[in-house]
A and B are shown apart, each in its own frame.
Chain A
Amino acid sequence: MITLNVNGTTHQVDADPRTPLLYVLRNELKLNAAKFGCGLGQCGACTVLVDHEPIFSCLTPISVLENRYIRTVEGLGTLEKPGPVQRAFMEEQAAQCGYCIPGMIMRAQALLEHNAAPSDGEIRDYMAPNLCRCGTQMRILRAVQRAAKAMSAGLDRSREARQ
């Protein structure tokens, strides 16, 4: 048994410790946002966050994840109440086929948690490991910029509310 903390919920998972996290997320926990793309850590469709860092869940055995904080798109918001990064991706219509988008959203989330106001160059560098084959990169870049603005505006509002 391995204990996994996913989006704040603790799960007891009975699986081989070598099993990649992606399979456990999708098959055991029915969290289907993260996608299987290449299975080789080359495309980024399976990106989730572990302790605030983006990782390829297809290449991460669950044995290394005990007592660590895993987040997936399901932890960022819901259809009715999307998180700021999800909302920005919708508003910019950043998805074409959509297969890469959950990975893109998670990597963008990590970027904005580390750097609230990234430059265009910083966004490009940080997002580089995640591939989109449809060609919506320009919309994805705009979505990340929009999310950055929305999140810092949100921070300002919450600061005002506290004062």
Chain B
Amino acid sequence: MRVIIGLVVVVAAAFAAFYAWAYHGEMPPERSSAAHFDPGAIAKGAQLAAVGNCSVCHTQSGGKPYAGGFPVETPFGVIYGTNITPDTDTGIGAWSEAAFRRAMRSGVDREGNHLFPAFPYDHFTKLTDNDISALYAFLMTREPVRQENRPLDLMGPLNWRLSAAAWKLLFLRQGAYEPDQTKSAEGNRGAYLVEGPGHCGACHTPRNILGAEKASQAYGGGVGEGWHAPALNAASPAPVPWTTEQLAAYLRHGFADQHGFAAGPMQPVVRSLRKVPNEDVRAMAVYIASLTGGDSQAAQRTQAALDFARQREAKPWATAGTEGRADGSAEREPSAGAAIFAGACATCHHAGGALPVSRPVALGLSSTVHAPDPTNLLHIILDGIHPPLGTAGPMMPGFAGTLTDPQIVALAAYVRGQFSDKPAWSGIDTTLSTLRQKPQPRAEAP
């Protein structure tokens, strides 16, 4: 009996201690006047918001900027981006700068509620005080929009906000970014932007069962908005190593000639980075290249990868994916996947295609074709690649209505076998049927 009472007391004490630790009071409402903010701080905040691409999760399709409503899908349910315009009733208009800083650093809103880590405060905690002030100045000078936040749609008991406090106890390490003395100033600037406001790891790092980034596998490849986010470390699937130069071009222009175009959720990231100065984009490239080790490997691996791609591209239906005649005769019929490729894809993707000037990067150089799973290739076959309506950019038509499921499976298997030296994908059909059930919305202009 004493043991039981003792246990109850210990559990109750532990819970009380946890509750006391987790408790955050409400911060008093405070109305900031837009006139107070320094134009320099607003401009700096605009750049940081562009690095973080805040507008993607805080703007719903067709909605007013930063007014919230975008569904962020997680394994635990759907969380809707909140209204972060300075509207007093439905946005953050009543938030003081101290309340905003607490949200960025500790993931607690003005009223004292714990925020779920879909808001990546595990990254934003690394921002400097100055940068948090600049972001505050930028957000408080946006157009206030009256738009109620949508309620969470999470599975219980995770919809209980104290569960977010428990998550933080386990996974949140607060504190601003500490410069690494062994890195150059540029490398440190890049690391700060990538680790902090850019929160690149939110997609490019795999997450554990509780949805926290696995620190031991940082940048080892993860998931973002239903797409595979390729590894940015030594596990990068890119045939040509990612060098600083290629990364800088990719992040600046959405295109790198030895890799290809930004597609899927990277498209809005790259569009947002247009508002960021060259030196910051380059610093991010320097840091990411240090993760992949691309600069040191490029000399050794690049030529072989380019040769491989050229060789595989030269005759798309004569090598892998070909069903030979039973008698082993030289005359060969193309496989189903190869025939589809020849009729639907080769015009643009084959070295001898009809309009070489429009030909995209060789598939043999594509990370998508060399990725560990077929998700991104299937996304692109189904929906194509489209610039936002009314803007210029790379365009590929989708084949969702043209090809049946077995035809897409055959095509994806052929492309994998023909243009990469990686093992065949398993489960193309199950991945495809998942994607078929969830049509992806067309990308929209920011």
Contacts and interface: CB of A to CB of B under 8 A. Distances in A.
B402 interface: yes
Contacts of B300: none
Contacts of A20: 343
A50 B401 CA distance: 8
B404 A40 contact: no
B401 A61 contact: no
B151 interface: no
A18 B355 contact: no
A64 B389 contact: no
A19 B397 contact: no
B402 A59 contact: yes
A56 B402 contact: yes
A5 interface: no
A39 B354 contact: yes
Contacts of A63: 336, 339-340, 343
A50 B402 CA distance: 7
Given A55-B402, A128-B389, A61 B355 contact: no
Contact of B397 (A17, A53, A59, A125): A59
Interface centre among A42, A61, A128 (most CB of B within 10 A): A61
Interface string B335-357: 01001101111011000001100
A60 interface: yes
Contacts, number: 64
A61 B340 contact: yes
Interface in A129-143: 129
Contacts of A128: 389
B397 A56 contact: yes
B407 A64 contact: yes
A50 B407 CA distance: 14
A17 B339 contact: yes
Given A17-B339, A39-B355, A59 B401 contact: no
Given A17-B339, A40-B355, A61 B344 contact: yes
Contacts of A41: 396-397
Interface centre among B339, B347, B354, B402 (most CB of A within 10 A): B402
Interface string A25-61: 0000000000000011110000000110111101111
A42 B342 contact: no
B162 to A, nearest CB: 42
Contacts of A51: 401
Nearest to B396: A41
Contacts of B336: 63
Interface residues of A, number: 24
Interface in B396-412: 396-397, 399-404, 407
A90 B42 CA distance: 54
Contacts of B347: 39-40, 58-59
B358 interface: yes
Contacts of A55: 401-402
A39 B347 CA distance: 8
Nearest to A121: B62
B395 interface: yes
Contact of B339 (A40, A56, A59, A61): A61
A114 to B, nearest CB: 11
B334 interface: yes
Given A39-B355, A40-B358, A50-B402, A61 B343 contact: yes
Contacts of A61: 339-340, 342-344
A20 B397 CA distance: 15
Contacts of A60: 343-344, 402
Given A62-B343, A64-B404, 13 more contacts: A40-B347, A40-B348, A41-B396, A51-B401, A53-B402, A54-B401, A55-B402, A59-B345, A59-B397, A59-B399, A59-B402, A61-B342, A64-B340
8 closest Cβ contacts across the A-B interface? A61-B343, A53-B401, A41-B397, A18-B342, A55-B402, A18-B343, A63-B339, A17-B339
